[in-house]
Amino acid sequence: GLVALGPVIGYGGWLYAGSGRSNVGRLSFRNRLRIPPLPAPTERNGRKTFVLRAQEGTAELLPGRRTRTWGYNGAHLGPTLRAARGDRVAIELTNGLGETTTTHWHGMRLPAVMDGGPHQPIGPGATWRPYWTVEQPAATLWYHPHLHRRTAAHVYRGMAGMFLVDDDGPDGLPGEYGVDDVPVIVQDKKFHDDGSLDDGGITFQGLSLTGLLGDTILVNGTYDPYLEVTRTHTRLRLLNASNARVYDIGFADDRPFWLVATDAGLTAAPQRMRRIMLSPGERAEIVVVLRPGERAVLRGHPPRMGANRIYERLTGGDDAFDLLQIRAAARLEQSPPLPARLAEPEPIPVTPRTLTREFVMGDFTLNGRTMDHGRIDQVVTAGSVEIWRVTNAGGFPANGLPHSFHVHEVGFQVLDVNGRPPAAHLRGRKDTVFVPPRTTMRLAMRFGRWSDPAHPYMYHCHLLAHEDAGMMGQFVVVSPRDRGRVRPPGGHH
């Protein structure tokens, strides 16, 4: 059947422009890894308040070149925000851009009206003031725009930052920001010769099937980066903030590392592994151990997606990318041993009677439909447990495109993948999962207790071109009392 089309599509080059661009052996690790600033919040009305400004600027992304970019409180990317469980947080976000944007707190559990999705637009010059109380376990979250049909473009220009959530007490892991606890925001870009960003293929148009796949990797906005470490153990907070590219992250020498957290929280115990696959939107925290004077290169290997090589070509081909060189000082301070146990995630009790919802990811559709701001796709009971059964059905071309499924508001547990227990890297709490073609995953989640019939949360593919093309739906979380008050959200677009 369609599999026969595979070689034509995969190797034709006109459908897929991201292959054959491996940077392995081409880098010299010349530039010190930029560490996003970690601003202290100001205390205002009993809330830890972060002031953000979305702005345009010029950044030196490639050595000696000037690139017009967007960022929060700077030319490119944004500061790392940090809050602890129980903190009352407020944001004052002013849009200094020439167009409307939004800012979404990816992975944060908060009321829908604070979520920063497509229904909370911030016009040019306007200030948006969301606030909430942090009520979730420690995790590496992030923030980025979420304006419908413009998310890919806004993120690509540089709008993204990390949001770290801490638990009440110490976690026993390396924790000095920028020293042995390091954000690693991975993005692929394409540049024109004059240094400007090339956004060709960023939207789903005609033959761009996954969206933009770049040939140049930036980590925290740094090209060709290295990181110097002075302790034996380094915690890397990995975030795939790329538009479409999937990385199978490990080290060039295949040394093992310890997985200590997935998207939505710490794992039960550190898990020794050599690779972790991250699709757009996913995070993982890993700890790597170095000997004095040693160098280790973090590498994004080509994604593994099963038997059909075409899937791989569509998400990064055979491309391997060196991401970051880690250089250990000649003398290293000995870090404390990793804790044997990290966190016991709150159980999500599933019974044979748990409500299951079906989601079919088609090519550019969800359950056969595309995003409609005025339509509520799912009505969920506040505080309830549900199973979301997500299937990448496959289809044209070559039996399907890869997708990444993200649900706002919840952290979920992957129950099974094609009926089998999830792989090690999917056993922790997640809010985004990679869904390769011909895959069915069951995700168990407990919804928050805030009832709001008027403001929806989103679920969507996190390949940003797919999201912008409409692979997104809306759900409201309501108490039984509010069920009758669910109305299609008002239009402002």
Q: What angle (nearest 5°) sits at the alpha carbon of residue 111, between those of residues 431 and 150?
A: 65
Q: Does 466 contact ligand C2O by CB under 6 A? A: no
- CA dist., res. 194 & res. 218, Å (int): 17
> Which of 33, 238 has the CB closer to Cu ion?
238
Q: At its nearest, how many Å lie between Cu ion and the CB of residue 241?
A: 12
Binds Cu ion by CB under 5 A, chosen from 106, 119, 144, 283:
106
Q: Does 446 contact ligand C2O by CB under 6 A? A: no
Neighbouring C-beta atoms of residue 253, cutoff 10 Å: 11
> Which of 240, 392 has the CB closer to ligand C2O?
240
> Which of 21, 408 has the CB closer to ligand C2O?
408
Q: Which entry of ligand C2O, Cu ion, none binds 403, CB below 5 to 8 A by partner kind?
A: Cu ion
The CB-side HSE value for 464 (13 A sphere, CA atoms) comes to 30
> Which of 61, 155 has the CB closer to Cu ion?
155
Q: Which entry of ligand C2O, Cu ion, none binds 463, CB below 5 to 8 A by partner kind?
A: Cu ion
Q: Which entry of Cu ion, ligand C2O, none binds 235, CB below 5 to 8 A by partner kind?
A: none
Close Cβ partners of 276 (under 8 Å, ≥ 6 residues apart): 238, 248, 249, 250, 259, 284, 286, 425
Neighbouring C-beta atoms of residue 351, cutoff 10 Å: 6
> Which of 147, 290 has the CB closer to ligand C2O?
147
Q: Read off φ and ψ for residue 332, nearest 5 degrees.
A: -120, 135
Binds ligand C2O by CB under 6 A, chosen from 460, 461, 469, 477:
460
**Dihedral (CA of 161, 467, 420, 380) sign:** positive
> Which of 326, 410 has the CB closer to Cu ion?
410
Q: Which entry of Cu ion, ligand C2O, none binds 466, CB below 5 to 8 A by partner kind?
A: Cu ion
> Which of 106, 237 has the CB closer to ligand C2O?
106
Q: At its nearest, how many Å lie between ligand C2O and the CB of residue 210?
A: 17
Q: At its nearest, how many Å lie between ligand C2O and the CB of residue 438?
A: 24
Phi-psi region of 386 (alpha: psi -120 to 50; beta: other; left: phi over 0): beta
Among positions 362-391, residues that touch ligand C2O (CB under 6 A) are none
**Dihedral (CA of 188, 192, 197, 202) sign:** negative
Q: At its nearest, how many Å lie between ligand C2O and the CB of residue 246?
A: 15
Q: Does 150 contact ligand C2O by CB under 6 A? A: no
Cβ-in-10-Å burial (0-12, 13-18, 19+) of 194 comes to exposed
> Which of 74, 281 has the CB closer to ligand C2O?
281
| Bridge partners, residue 387, by sequence | 356, 444
Q: At its nearest, how many Å lie between ligand C2O and the CB of residue 178?
A: 24
- Binding residue count for Cu ion, defined by CB under 5 A: 6
Q: Pick the piece of the chain touching ligand C2O (CB under 6 A) from 29-37, 194-202, 209-217, 458-466.
A: 458-466
Q: Does 310 contact ligand C2O by CB under 6 A? A: no
Q: Does 109 contact ligand C2O by CB under 6 A? A: no
Q: At its nearest, how many Å lie between ligand C2O and the CB of residue 432?
A: 7
Tokens of 67: 């690139």
Q: Pick the piece of the chain touching Cu ion (CB under 5 A) from 28-36, 133-141, 228-236, 461-469.
A: 461-469
Q: Determine the residue type at 213.
A: L
Q: Which entry of ligand C2O, Cu ion, none binds 146, CB below 5 to 8 A by partner kind?
A: ligand C2O
Contact 415, 444 (CB under 8 A): yes
Close Cβ partners of 35 (under 8 Å, ≥ 6 residues apart): 177, 178, 182, 183, 220
Binds Cu ion by CB under 5 A, chosen from 461, 464, 469, 478:
461
Q: Does 403 contact ligand C2O by CB under 6 A? A: no
Binds ligand C2O by CB under 6 A, chosen from 233, 406, 446, 466:
406
Q: Does 281 contact ligand C2O by CB under 6 A? A: yes
- Binding residue count for ligand C2O, defined by CB under 6 A: 10
Q: Which residue is nearest to ligand C2O (CB)?
A: 106
Q: Does 270 contact ligand C2O by CB under 6 A? A: no
Encoded one letter per residue, x for contact with ligand C2O by CB under 6 A and - for no contact, window 85-104 reads -------------------x
Q: Pick the piece of the chain touching Cu ion (CB under 5 A) from 301-309, 347-355, 405-413, 436-444.
A: 405-413
Q: Give the interface with ligand C2O as residue ranges (CB under 6 A).
A: 104, 106, 144, 146, 281, 406, 408, 458, 460, 462
Site residues (CB under 5 A) for Cu ion? Answer: 106, 403, 408, 461, 463, 466
